[in-house]
């Protein structure tokens, strides 16, 4: 084996930072619709904060996904699992890293919150546009 690098997992503090960055960015971008109704400057500020937050958040998510796929490909884990080949200790460590990374990821919660706030933003925007609020 070529002694392939298996990444270390991120700290809980770092995971939480990116989770909250994604959450606030999602909320800011959805608040634009409401803020624009009342204050154009505030809506612009929310836009920039949301987009810059998303740039950092999605760059991080891309990096995480790239690390996972790199371990899968470099160790040919999928092929070995499909062929039921015995795994070496290093391959088990790679598989453990991928499984750990998936298990601590907050992406499912992020998707749920983004969905919920998107629905709320649409409902509030329609209510404002129709003069119901």
Is-above-0.85 flag for pTM?
Answer: no
- Of 2-6, 13-17, 98-102, the range with the lowest mean pLDDT is 2-6
User: Could you tell me the end-to-end alpha-carbon distance of the chain, in angstroms, rounded to an integer?
Assistant: 65
What percent of the chain clears pLDDT 70, i.e. is strictly above it? 98
* Distance, C-alpha 94 to centroid of its chain: 21
pLDDT at residue 1 is higher than 70: no
Q: Is the pLDDT of residue 37 over 90?
A: no
């Amino acid at each position: 084996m070529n002694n392939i690098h298996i990444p270390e997992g991120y700290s809980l503090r770092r995971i939480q930072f990116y989770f909250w960055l994604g959450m606030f960015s999602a909320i800011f971008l959805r608040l634009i619709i409401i803020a624009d109704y009342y204050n154009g400057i505030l809506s612009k500020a929310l836009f920039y904060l949301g987009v810059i937050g998303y740039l950092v958040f999605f760059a991080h998510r891309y990096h995480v996904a790239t690390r996972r796929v790199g371990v899968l490909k470099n160790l040919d884990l999928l092929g070995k699992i499909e062929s039921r080949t015995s795994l070496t200790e290093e391959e088990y460590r790679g598989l453990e890293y991928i499984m750990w990374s998936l298990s601590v990821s907050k992406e499912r919660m992020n998707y749920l919150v983004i969905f919920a706030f998107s629905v709320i933003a649409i409902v509030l925007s329609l209510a404002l546009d129709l003069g119901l609020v």
